[in-house]
């Protein structure tokens, strides 16, 4: 009897593993929703408030598992401040695991511990992001950047300590990086140009991309 129970338990575990792998690998989906998600990237507005953007050349890594991605450079018309925005979409598995602390560390950056960020600004209220500083030191120079990132879930932009589990039930998942170069760690987060851009950009994305 014990042997039968053990065999049955093993069978259930194998079946569960097969289902999980099938969802992860997108085995049972025709991919139509991914095609629609990639098309949504083409609807990103290039003029938002005082910011003017342009789509820059972006080479996708086929090993990333992303269905589509796009990079945009936004410049403030008056101050000249520049912010880079990276948007990507795909199945929750690949989209959730490639986080900046992994990607940038692989490119030689030291990544500080991610901290949650939220703001009461009208365009950001109710949205959640992670933020961190990225520093790369070379013999003749040092590059420092500030990055904000989040995933577009059921309630707008969200973060999770375990995004692979939190967003597993979604079909197509989006993620966004908002990045700029910084001069030092003491710069105010609330007045960061990334935050200024997001205050206008996020509501625009909800209308044009996700609406």
Check residue 21 and give its pLDDT: 40
- How sure is the predictor about 185, in pLDDT bands with cuts at 50, 70 and 90? low
The three-state secondary structure class of 16 is: helix
Check residue 83 and give its pLDDT: 98
Instruction: Pick 200 or 108 by higher pLDDT.
Output: 200
| Mean confidence (pLDDT) of the chain | 84
Please check whether residue 97 is in contact with residue 109, taking contact to mean a CB–CB distance below 8 angstroms: no
Check residue 211 and give its pLDDT: 83
Judged by average pLDDT, the poorest of 94-103, 129-138, 194-203 is 94-103
CB neighbour burial string for 174-210, b if at least 16 within 10 angstroms, e if fewer: bbbbbbbebeeeeeeeeebbbbbbbbbbbbbbeeebe
Please check whether residue 140 is in contact with residue 192, taking contact to mean a CB–CB distance below 8 angstroms: no
pTM (global) more than 0.95 = no
pLDDT tens readout for residues 60-111: 666 778 999 999 999 999 999 999 999 999 999 999 987 888 888 888 888 8
Instruction: Pick 175 or 13 by higher pLDDT.
Output: 175
Spatial CA neighbour of 193 closest among 204, 207, 182, 205: 182
Check residue 201 and give its pLDDT: 98
Please state the φ and ψ torsions of residue 45, each to the nearest 5 degrees: -70, 140
First-to-last C-alpha distance (Å) of the chain: 57
pLDDT tens readout for residues 7-59: 454 443 444 333 344 444 444 354 788 999 999 999 999 999 999 999 998 66
Strands of 28-172, DSSP E: 47-48, 51-56, 68-76, 82-90, 110-111, 115-117, 129-137, 142-153, 156-158
């Amino acid at each position: 009897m014990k042997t039968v129970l053990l065999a049955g338990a093993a069978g259930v575990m194998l079946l569960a593993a097969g289902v999980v792998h099938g969802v992860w690998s997108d085995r049972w989906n025709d991919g139509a929703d991914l095609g629609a998600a990639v098309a949504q990237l083409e609807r990103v507005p290039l003029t938002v408030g005082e910011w003017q953007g342009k789509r820059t050349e972006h080479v996708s890594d086929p090993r990333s598992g992303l269905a589509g991605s796009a990079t945009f450079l936004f410049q403030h018309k008056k101050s000249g401040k520049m912010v880079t925005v990276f948007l990507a979409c795909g199945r929750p598995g690949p989209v959730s695991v490639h986080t900046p602390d992994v990607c940038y560390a692989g490119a030689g950056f030291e990544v500080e511990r991610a901290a949650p960020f939220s703001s009461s600004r009208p365009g950001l209220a109710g949205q959640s992001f992670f933020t961190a500083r990225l520093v790369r030191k070379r013999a003749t120079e040092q590059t420092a950047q500030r990055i904000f990132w989040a995933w577009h879930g059921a309630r707008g932009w969200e973060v999770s300590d375990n995004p692979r589990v939190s967003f597993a039930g979604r079909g197509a998942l989006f993620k966004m990086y908002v990045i700029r170069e910084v001069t030092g760690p003491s710069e105010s987060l609330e007045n960061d140009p990334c935050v200024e851009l997001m205050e206008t950009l996020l509501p625009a994305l909800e209308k044009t991309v996700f609406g």
